[in-house]
Structure 1
Amino acid sequence: MEIEDDAAPPGRRERKKRETRAALTAAALRLALEKGPDNVTVEEISEAADVSVRTFFNYFSHKEHAILARNPEHLASALERFRSAPAEQSPLTVMWLIVHDVLRDLISEGELSRRGELIMGSPNLLYHLMLSSFDDERQLSAALAERIGDPLRAMLIVSTAGAACRVAMELHKQAPDRPVGDVLDRAFQLLAQGIDPAFAPDPDGQKGF
């Protein structure tokens, strides 16, 4: 079994952590595709990645996060973007940059489509994806609200950006020849322009609540 070298220099240690995380997510996805996500164990994933079970839990709280390739560094990087973005940069622009950072990492793994198909076919993976996504959105919304001073607007920006990502992935699955990044860019353009500029509710009508 591979043992992580905590005494290694910071640069090498971080590289080894990235390599270990990548090995675990690759093994988790391969085994989930072969056996079905419900039939894979943490022990099998760890053995396939040539690490100990203890090392597995240094990276993931359970097997579903390994299959989903959930990386807390994505959230940390996103929160840092909100903190360091120039004041003149619009919130939706910052969200666009955040989404493209994550998408770039997922595409570099070369398994974006297969992982997406696996998730859509597994209620358990969908459940864990939604839970983790909601938690990320809460933290991102809080960070954006602190930046712009408008909690409602912040939550709408973050949640609609998340919806745009989900829609882009679904459309990419239907038309794989169209790059998911292109679909995502179009979705963000629609959000920026207003998806229904003709919206005109009757201010005197009954709202029903």
Structure 2
Amino acid sequence: MELVTEFGDGDVSENRLYCRRITRFLSTNHDTILLSSSTNEKPDVPLMFFLVSYSLLVRYVCESRLRKRGRTMDRQGKDLDAGNDRIARVLAHAVDSAGRSRADLAAEAGMHRETLTRLIRGERPIKLEDAARILSVCGVPVRSTLILALSGDDELACQWMRHDVGAFLEEFLVTLPGALETTLGERCDELRPRWAKGTSQLVARMLANHIDDFAARDVAAQLAR
């Protein structure tokens, strides 16, 4: 008899195939496991114990992998749907606040009006290039808006897309790589991801101090008049 000695870790259909193989194995070797009632031969207890234990193990492994794969696929599907919905909400806000008809925006973006409508409703998967074209024709910062939407900050994306802070973030994202390369050079390799959060807080404090300095200068200029 040939035993199944490995389990599939590929797709669901492969795991089901392994379950069917063990079932066929037990059916084919039924006479070996249980002796006919017409004989007085003693059953082979160790063999029976091994086969029953083996069948239970295979069933547990197969069912566990099927459940795990199902949970993973469900989680990935939900994450993708949530991301698509966030981008759709941002696109809808950009279109509604553009002050132009959807037909004009769709034509300039190189798509049908119905396609644009379905995209902003979240009724179809949104490609990044489509989202970028729509944001561009709506006259809002593309990079900063998409990054905010993809990172889960779709509300900020909607608030900032037609605000100076959105334009600032767009320019910051564009110029930061070049500034890092110019200032750090080969030392860019020494940067650590864990520093990013603290650096962002430092930049925010520097900007706050910069704004306070400008405000103080304006007050001093007005008092000097």
TM-score, normalised to structure 2's length?
Answer: 0.25
TM-score, normalised to structure 1's length?
Answer: 0.26
Q: Give the number of the structure with larger relative contact order, counting CA–CA contacts within 8 Å between residues 6 or more apart.
A: 1
Larger radius of gyration: 2
